Amino acid sequence: MDLKGRAALVTGGASGIGAAAVRRLAKAGAVVAVADRDDAAARALADEVGGLALPGDVSDLDTMTMAVDVAEDSFGRLNVVLLNAGVTAGQSGTENLDLAGYRRIMGVNVDHVVFGLTAAVPALRRAGGGTILATASLAGLVPMPGDALYTLTKHAVVGYVRAAAPELAKEGIRVNAVCPGFADTPLIAPARPQFGDFPLLTAEDVADAVEAVLERGEPGECWFVQPGREPAPYGFRGVPGPKGGAAPPDVSWRDH
């Protein structure tokens, strides 16, 4: 992967998968902006890779817009945006709903991806194209029993990526998702003893997948990442259409 002369922005970039991706992008020659709520950690990693620290809450629209604007202004362009920040729910989501916790996971896992993509698109247009990659999860492809809210948010990211990709691809902007299984990162640290000998991904495994998607991904693909397997696009099964084989209409709700 050769990213010399390219600029990247990584959210949730100060630890775990985000930090591994920041280092991988920088090693490939990109200048990288590290966006994270942990100001000190973001600055430490940005100093390490010669990049830029952007502290703030990614679930806030103004924060995401400013992060994209500052990164583009500082680097002169923006080519790669990795929307990686994520949290878990800490509740079942099926009873005794904690509204604040629900709003938090929706804000970070869903709103941040929407805010980040919509902010990044104009910058990538100005750069002549680029890639937006969202970190979803295997829970975006299959249900995760016991964590309905996390499953909800990651299914939303996968659907959003797949629906946004075709139109943006016409402008040279590729949109993808990476869908890791359980990874040994701070996100699962509280539950780490429960996994026992279950094989876990490392942050580097997911960075490998990020690199693979950037190198050879096709618009709208959502790549699974599992221990011991090569990352690859997930093969979604086609949903049966109307009887008789009629093609679906090309409808834009903006026209209505």
Count the neighbouring beta carbons within 10 Å of the beta carbon of residue 3: 20
Separation in Å, CA 112 to CA 65, 86, 118, 125, 195: 10, 9, 10, 20, 29
pTM of structure? 0.92
Q: Look at residue 91 and tell me if it is in a domain.
A: yes
Residue span of the structural domain in which 119 resides: 7-255
pLDDT, residue 47, reads 98
pLDDT digits (tens, 9 = 90+) for 65-124: 999 999 999 999 999 999 999 999 889 899 999 999 999 999 999 999 999 999 999 999
Q: How confident is the model at residue 35 (pLDDT cuts 50, 70, 90)?
A: very high
Tell me the C-alpha distance between 142 and 128, whole Å.
Answer: 35
Could you tell me which of 161, 146, 130, 136 has the C-alpha nearest to residue 225?
136
pLDDT, residue 251, reads 63
Tell me the C-alpha distance between 126 and 174, whole Å.
Answer: 14
Q: Is the pLDDT of residue 248 over 60?
A: yes
Q: Across all residues in the chain, what is the average pLDDT?
A: 93
**Residues with active-site annotation:** 150
Tell me the C-alpha distance between 72 and 152, whole Å.
Answer: 32
> What is the residue whose two structure tokens read 């994209």?
68
Structural domain count of the chain = 1
Reduced to 3 states (helix: H, G, I; strand: E, B; else coil), residue 66 is helix
Q: Percent of the chain having pLDDT more than 70? A: 93
Count the neighbouring beta carbons within 10 Å of the beta carbon of residue 41: 17
Going through the chain in order, the beta strands assigned E by DSSP cover 7-11, 31-36, 52-55, 80-83, 130-135, 173-180, 222-225, 232-233
Q: Is the pLDDT of residue 54 over 90?
A: yes
pLDDT digits (tens, 9 = 90+) for 11-29: 999 999 999 999 999 999 9
Cβ contact 186:218 at 8 Å: no
pLDDT, residue 256, reads 54
CATH number at residue 55: 3.40.50.720
Q: Look at residue 1 and tell me if it is in a domain.
A: no
Q: Of 50-54, 114-118, 188-192, 234-238, where does mean pLDDT reach its minimum?
A: 188-192
Q: Look at residue 68 and tell me if it is in a domain.
A: yes
Q: Look at residue 2 and tell me if it is in a domain.
A: no
